[in-house]
Amino acid sequence: MTDGLVSTESVIELRIENIALLFDPLDPFPTPSRDLSKTAEDFIVEWARELPRRNPIRLILHIPQSGQHDLSQLQVAFSNHFRQRARRVKGDIDELFGVGRTSLMIGLATLIACVLGGQVAVMLLGSGSAARILSEGLIILGWVANWRPLEIFLYGWWPLARRRRLFQRLAEMPVEVLTA
């Protein structure tokens, strides 16, 4: 119980016939370092997206009782996989902000040049319609040049940050195995 609110746990359940199906068959590393299969990751991530964001997540794996399974490394494997995915998304955010900074420098330089160009047009052409159209057009061009950096810094990074937080939550989820 925190701040008077009861936090309930959200559960993702996955039924599989073989633990090996959880992992990428092309990944040569041992279980704790292996990537999850694309199908398993997509299933878990899509289910987790539908769960309340404030609730901790728990994964329950239903597997048949027959067969040999190395269950001791599953928690570590899931944590490693989703922690790595969160790091990749953090890299994507950093790259996006780098593009945003470069775009902002170009956009601001373009805006300054357009404002100055508009003032020069008014000085050279007077206060007539042609000078006003040219001046206003240059100012619009200058602001349009800032569209992309503004989009990046105001809105573009939110979905990536949300995905990163989801991967961080998934990296922390406990994994429980139930045999049938």
Least confident of 42-46, 123-127, 157-161: 123-127
Is the predicted pLDDT of residue 160 greater than 80, yes or no? yes
Domain boundaries, the chain: 10-87+172-179, 97-160
Assess contact for 173 and 74: CB atoms under 8 A.
no
The larger pLDDT score, comparing residue 1 to residue 130, is at 130
Per-residue pLDDT of 24-43, as tens digits, reads: 877 766 666 778 889 999 99
Residue 22: closest CA among 95, 76, 74, 91? 74
Alpha-carbon span 59 to 176, nearest angstrom: 6
Q: What is the dihedral of CA 78, 80, 84, 87, to 10 degrees?
A: 110
**Backbone dihedral angles phi then psi of residue 138, each to the nearest 5 degrees:** -65, -40
Those residues with Cβ within 8 angstroms of residue 110's Cβ, 6 or more apart along the chain or in another chain: 141, 142, 145, 146
Assess contact for 61 and 14: CB atoms under 8 A.
yes
Cα Rg for the chain, rounded, in angstroms?
26
pTM for the structure as a whole: 0.80
